[in-house]
Structure 1
């Protein structure tokens, strides 16, 4: 497994508060990683920095085989490099069908003429069917996205990200508001997605993380407090003290 993304010595302050403090982190491809930590630990800022939404004050972030620096790249340039992000609240086009949502997300040439002369191809149709299968929405393809349950909207959004063929997928609290059955299916979806790419899951639900069965990174006060298997980090006295014991 080769290193896909590496952050080293990254810090960022907001009004004198260090949200991220000399953080170093790396993830390989393919790999599934969970990020946990108390509120204010820097989990969202960590994702904001990777996606270019927040610029760090210091440190470096390198990406891919050529160790390209992501610093100084715009959010859209970083997205084109193959980094996709799913926010906590699902953002799908509710007035469009599931099929149309996936079609809009497919990785196609994005020039002005490409969009103008967009043709439905068999390849695109097959790809949509395959993604719908992956996210458990094959039967829902003709339905309006607005009619889906909360959990199904989350899956559709994961599908829209997969349609862009990212190499790194950042997923924020996917289990929030889901039924136990939906949570189980989401676990399966993320584990499968991580067989061919890097997937980072930020989550509070410890049971959900345990089922992911992956390496866990614990953030606290903007730095890595512990890293390892779920059993390793949950038995760490410092982690119990700052996070689990509360």
Structure 2
């Protein structure tokens, strides 16, 4: 499996506190990975670095087949190169319908003026219908996003990211605040998405991670403490001491 993203020896310090400490991490083109670790382990900073929000003090981050450096790109360029990120709190356009939210997110090259006169073509509408079925909102296309449940808004936001056709999807605590049925459906959406792209899920819910059935990376004090299957990492004495034993 060829590598899509390779992070090597990355460190970042905030006011003397080392948030990321000589971190190395790699993920393949179509792979699902879960990242776990105690609060303050560096999980959010790790995502901030990949998306260009935070600049590391040292290290390299290489992207794609040509191994281009993400550190030379702006946040917007990184997003255009195919890195999509979903934050914990869903951000959707509440007054617009599900269909309009998905149409706005489609990866058509549209400048600010083109958007004003843009009318969706049939293929855009078809793509939106496909996305809506993929995220379980096919029946909700005409509904306003503000009327959706918390879980459905999370799915809509994942759909909006998928509409941009990212090659890497970073998802922060998708299971938080969801009902068991919503959590199960979220698992299905992420597993399906990882068939054609890399998906990194930061999560605390161990049951949710078990259902993802993927490789797990444990972060502690800004470094990788352990990596492997969930059973492998949860049997690791250091992981039990710093994270699971709490």
TM-score (norm. length: structure 2) = 0.99
Q: How does 1:210-221 map to 2 (within 5 A)?
A: 210-221=210-221
1:149 equivalent to 2:144? Answer no
Q: Residues of 2 paired with 1:91 and 1:222: CA distance?
A: 28
The residue that corresponds to 1:240 in the other structure is: 240
The residue that corresponds to 1:206 in the other structure is: 206
Runs (4 or more) in structure 1 with deviation over 6 Å come to none
The residue that corresponds to 1:93 in the other structure is: 93
Q: Residues of 2 paired with 1:23 and 1:242: CA distance?
A: 18
Q: How does 1:54-203 map to 2 (within 5 A)?
A: 54-203=54-203
Q: How does 1:222-233 map to 2 (within 5 A)?
A: 222-233=222-233
The alignment's C-alpha RMSD in Å is: 0.7
Q: Give CA-to-partner distance per residue, 1:137-196, whole Å, 9 cap, x none.
A: 000000000000000000000000000000000000000000000000000010000000
SS at match of 2:176: coil
Structure 1, unaligned stretches of length 5 or more?
Answer: none
Q: Residues of 2 paired with 1:114 and 1:150: CA distance?
A: 32
SS at match of 1:71: helix
TM-score (norm. length: structure 1) = 0.99
The residue that corresponds to 2:36 in the other structure is: 36
SS at match of 1:224: strand
Q: Residues of 1 paired with 2:31 and 2:72: CA distance?
A: 26
